[in-house]
Amino acid sequence: MSTALVEREPGTSGSRPGTRRVLVVALALIALQVTIRGVLAFRGEFYWDDLILIGRAGTYPLSSPELLNYDHDGHLMPGAFAVASVVTWLAPMQWWPAALTLVVAQLVASLAVLRLLWLILGPRRVLWAPLLFYLFSPLTLPAFAWWAAGLNSLPMQAALAWVAGDALQLARTGRRRHAVSGIVVTLCASAFFEKSVLVPFVAFVTVALLYRVDGVRRPLRVAWQRAHPLWLGSGVVLAVWAAWYTTVVASRFGVPPWSMVAGLTHHGLSYGLAPSLLGGPWQWDRWNPSPPWADPPLVLVVAAWVAVAGALVWSLRCRTRTGWVWIAATAYVCASLVAMISTRFGPETTYELAQTLRYFADSSVIVAVAAALVLRSAERRPSGVRSRAVALACVVAFVVSSVWSTVTFARSWTDNPTGEYLATAMDALTEHPQDPVLDHPVSVWVLLPVTYPHNLVGSVFSSLPGRSDISDHTTALSVLDDRGVLVPAELMPLRGVLPGPVPECGYAVTDDVVTPLLLNEPAGDWEWTVELHYMAADDGAIDLGFPGRPRVSVPVTEGLGSVYVRIPGGGAALQVESATPGLNVCIGGGSMGVVVPS
């Protein structure tokens, strides 16, 4: 076959009005998708990792390495933290700018997918089919609605399509600006999600497969030769990024037991990915504070696998040279599975994790591209009227199924206590800003203790203007309850400070001696709250903490007083020292435990 086939653009011989009609319908579909997703986004609220993003954005400046280089549960995502910082600066603790970023990112991704499909199929009505799949498939819903997940996934989806489009343009025209564009987009996507290392490989495979279905000899070699500036430039970007990633991020890759591999694979494919190919799962389940997961009926699971098998048979029988398209798409899905299983398995991992779909969101682009390549390939058997009617019926059924899955997802997703909790807590913390609040965890229905220290009130509300001072010491206890209401609190004592050796003083604290405060029994490593009763000769401060751990500077006032201090660590004794030169303090005793609502 002549390499001239590489340059052919399907459908370009059509009339200009026909071309315009295809484009107008495609843009209208994108507008409809963005409208639906916009309603979903603006009805949402911050959730889980979102609070970690805005908490760190409120704690560190935009240019801070502590913000941009943070190892977030195995993710290196400076781009996402930068966006969170801008959003937090624009409207602290407000959801609307975060929702807007999701809608804009989705629009960019959808337009990038349309561009790629246009480059593969040209202005043909058949383009609408793979575009409809990408736009309305519930496969991308969970990663879209959750801001932190969307900041990972949506830039990658856009990059997968855009860089593949640049690669096709570079191969066809030889214009170096497409190489520059592809390299820049790859770099930007890598700043949001480490999985974006796959972007150049997907672009290369897309070009090679297009040559393959066009009948070009040695498609891999031709793909390399015609777009090698993009591949070489991307290689440099990935090498630099890999060095950065391995320096910053602690590896979370491991080898799970076979039972875990089999369970997560089965649930991820049969209950997650496969039903979404038919617009499923139709229904979702949820246990707050976990995200929703797909819960398809058995009939949909069976129908999905039958449909996949049927599409494979039809493709191999009716379209030329499409076998490698299926192999490549399957390999990508398997790579997503491997990444999820090897980094997220553990003794407490449930199989429902694989049904949350967010680990397969970028596969929606791959499926759309694979479908476009199959549709581009030459027909062995021309389609008749009956075949076109069946195809139209399948498209209508898919859209109806997807819309219903979107509706049911929205119902499940809006069952999120975080929004109401945050609104109530913000009112409580700004009502009496002159009253300090001891730092403490937010409700477990909002963030679990495993996210410590980002589950602390001081982190979550770090950007809230006009709030009470949230610190590690106070003279009066109050906490946010599970509703977000600020209520009086008390210390539940679990340990006690033994009486001191100095008569009528207890423990004599000076600025030149570290004084141990003995506990009635050793304390485990924890975030403890200590209540101390003291008598100070003057106003000043003391440093309090466990051996080998950071100390907390605690202000004291002249005369008798009591103070509550939040201290990390553990051991058989606390250590205290005067932080004010010449200050003498007597500590008569105290207790240590956890703070609970009165």
Instruction: Tell me the pLDDT tens digit for each residue of 244-264.
Output: 999 999 877 778 888 899 999
| pLDDT greater than 60 at residue 12 | no
pLDDT mean over 110-124: 96
Banded model confidence at residue 112, pLDDT cuts 50, 70, 90: very high
pTM beyond 0.85, yes or no: yes
Residue 7's pLDDT is what?
A: 47
Tell me how far apart the alpha carbons of residues 329 and 351 are, in angstroms, rounded to a whole number: 23
Q: How does pLDDT run across 536-593, given as a tens digit for each residue?
A: 999 999 999 999 998 999 999 999 999 999 999 999 999 999 999 989 999 998 999 9
Length of the chain: 598
Mean pLDDT of all residues belonging to the chain:
92
What totals of helices (H) and strands (E) does the chain contain, helices first? 20, 15
Q: What mean pLDDT do residues 334-344 have? A: 91
CA-closest candidate to residue 589, choices 506, 486, 474, 479: 506
**Looking at residue 380, what is its pLDDT?**
65
* Of 590, 155, 58, residue with least CA distance to 365: 155
| Band of pLDDT at residue 381, cut at 50, 70 and 90 | low
Q: What is the Cα gyration radius of the chain?
A: 29
Burial 158-179 (b: 16+ CB within 10 A, else e): bbbbbbbbbbbbbbbeeeeebb
Contact 107, 34 (CB under 8 A): yes
pLDDT bin (cut points 50, 70, 90) of residue 1 is very low
Look up residue 336 and give its amino acid: S
Tell me the per-residue pLDDT of 384-393, one tens digit each, with 9 for 90 and over.
566 778 888 9
- Kindly tell me if the per-residue pLDDT of 8 is higher than 60: no
Region of 194 on the Ramachandran plot (φ > 0 left; ψ -120 to 50 alpha; else beta)? alpha
Report pLDDT for 17.
62
**267 within 8 A of 289, measured Cβ to Cβ:** no
pLDDT of residue 3: 41
pLDDT in tens, 399-443: 999 999 999 999 999 988 999 999 999 999 999 999 999 999 999
**pLDDT at residue number 389:** 83
Average pLDDT over residues 510-530: 92
Residue in 202, 167, 209, 200 with CA at minimum distance from that of residue 364: 202
- In which residue ranges of the chain is CATH 2.60.120.260 found? 492-597
Of 128, 133, 198, 209, nearest in space to 168 by CA: 209
Which residues, 6+ apart, have CB-to-CB distance to 232 below 8 Å? none
Residue 572 amino acid letter: A
Q: What's the topology of domain 492-597?
A: Jelly Rolls (2.60.120)
pLDDT at residue 225 is higher than 50: yes
Q: Do 584 and 578 form a contact (C-beta atoms < 8 A)? A: yes
pLDDT of residue 385: 62
Render pLDDT for 472-503 as a digit per residue (tens, 0 to 9): 999 999 999 999 999 999 999 999 999 999 99
Contact 577, 545 (CB under 8 A): no
